[in-house]
Amino acid sequence: MKKIQVITLFPEMFDGVLNASMLWKAQEQKAVEFRMVNLRDFGLGPRKRVDDTPYGGGDGMLLMPEPLFAAVKDAKTYDPTAKVVIMTPRGQRWKQSLAQEWSDSETGYIFICGRYEGYDERILTVVDEQVSVGDYVLTGGELPAMTIIDSIVRLIPGVLGGENSAAIESFSDGETLEFPQYTKPADFKGMKVPEVLLSGNHAQIAKWRENNSAKVEK
């Protein structure tokens, strides 16, 4: 069973996403186990402080090293061989082939979600991977972490329901995204389903789908 932990100041943000649909099913099937680590629990002093101003000046607050290191240590106690991943727009761009690799691997993952203006750079000494979901800046790493978790978990064998869902979405070479699909009715307010899909000619249907698929680089 894949272990996925998330270090975040906002664990409640994950409730809806992890406890619905496919990700919920994956937990029920014991394909994956999620554990939230609330960074606040490792905050300093009676007010459980987690952030401070940057040396050298500048706007905003940074996540301090002590709570972050303590949270990673806690997560590692639970899963000693887990890889530590930090969400940052400076990281390598997430892509389907990485989702496949991380889904296939036996290791667990610990996702650190940054907040505020960033984090103390020294946390990188315990980080294995820096990952970005795109060239834009979000207010925290939570949405990127959810995106990445979803893309990994749905690829765990047995999680995707359909007999041939994997084949549908990529012609098994991982380079092709989905083709357009239609369900009943064949004519909806004059908008007709392409004739070939109604034909029952499997070779022609396969050709049509290939011609109408979006290609992505691996």
**What residues make contact with ligand ADE under the rule CB under 6 A?**
87-89, 114, 132-134, 136-138, 141, 144
**Residues forming a β-bridge with 192:** 187
Which residue number, 43 or 141, has a Cβ lying nearer to ligand ADE? 141
Residue bearing tokens 């996702």 = 111
Q: Which two tokens stand for residue 20?
A: 């619905």
Task: Return d(Cα 28, Cα 132) in angstroms, integer.
Answer: 29
**Rounded least distance, CB 140 to ligand ADE, Å:** 6
**Rounded least distance, CB 129 to ligand ADE, Å:** 11
Which residue number, 84 or 87, has a Cβ lying nearer to ligand ADE? 87
Which residue number, 43 or 114, has a Cβ lying nearer to ligand ADE? 114
Helix axes 142-153, 21-28, angle to 10 degrees: 60
Side chain identity, residue 194? P
Q: Which two tokens stand for residue 24?
A: 């919920």
Task: Return d(Cα 195, Cα 173) in angstroms, integer.
Answer: 27
Which residue number, 55 or 136, has a Cβ lying nearer to ligand ADE? 136
**Rounded least distance, CB 6 to ligand ADE, Å:** 13
**Rounded least distance, CB 94 to ligand ADE, Å:** 8
Question: Which residues, 6 or more positions from 73, have their beta carbon under 8 angstroms from its beta carbon?
Answer: none
